[in-house]
Amino acid sequence: MTPMPSFDMADSRGEPERSPAMMPQPFTIKRVGQRPLRFEGSELCMAMSFVPTCPSWYEINIYRTTAQSFVAAVRLFFVAEGERDRVRAWECESFDEVLDTLEAYDAGRDVRVDAFPDDPGMTPGDLAAEGFMLRAKVEGARAHYRSLLGEILHELEQAAE
């Protein structure tokens, strides 16, 4: 049996890093397919999944506006210059609604579809392979996002104890 690595389960007591309280400031978040979201407020939470070997990473932000509403933002960044970063953001009335929104987000939508099924040159085998690849990419994107969101919620839970 190989020795187990360090690996916490339930009820660990890690202390999250906390950024200093910030004064309200203006934010403009460009969104995919929507007008930019402009508001004045402060950032309550930031998390990012950047790893040097990973071709893309997610950043999740939660803001509180001076109008006492909340904004959730999910940003997907790419290392490759040819890829365009994707940003989605939502206004929410409560912090609970922010968490609901982030939990409901399907990161599978972030996967770009490169295959063109109506290409007459593609054989059924090509299509099947493309489909398999696409499904794997969708599962990978979902797992990536869910892992980061789970980290935020875990940190919040631990800090709230």
Partner 1 sequence: MQTEQALRPTVQLTAEAVALFRSGRHGPPAALPPETAGGPSGGPSGALAAPLAAPLAEAGAVRAGGRPDPAMAWRSLRRDGARPFRFRGITLIETGVTVPGAAAGENWACRFAVHLAAGGGLVAEIAVLPPQIEGWAVSRPAYAAAEVAGPADLDPLLEGIRAACHPPVPGFAGEAGDAAHDALTVRLSAALGRMIGTALAARRSDTTETGDP
Q: Say whether residue 85 binds partner 1 (CB under 8 A).
A: no
Q: Say whether residue 53 binds partner 1 (CB under 8 A).
A: yes
Q: For residues 15-34, which are near partner 1 according to CB under 8 A?
A: 16-19, 21
Handedness of CA 7, 12, 18, 24 (dihedral sign): positive
Residue 35 dihedral angles phi and psi, to the nearest 5°: -65, 150
Q: Say whether residue 113 binds partner 1 (CB under 8 A).
A: no
E strand residue ranges, 66-131: 70-78, 86-92
Whole-angstrom Cα distance, residue 89 to residue 110? 14
Whole-angstrom Cα distance, residue 28 to residue 35? 10
Window 133-152: contact mask with partner 1 (x via CB under 8 A): x--xx-xxxxxxxxxxxxxx
- CA nearest neighbour of 152 among 13, 41, 46, 8: 46
Position among 29, 37, 62, 71 found at the interface with partner 1 (CB under 8 A): 62
Q: Say whether residue 7 binds partner 1 (CB under 8 A).
A: yes
Binding site for partner 1 (CB under 8 A): 1-11, 16-19, 21, 42-51, 53-56, 62, 64, 94-96, 99, 103, 132-133, 136-137, 139-161
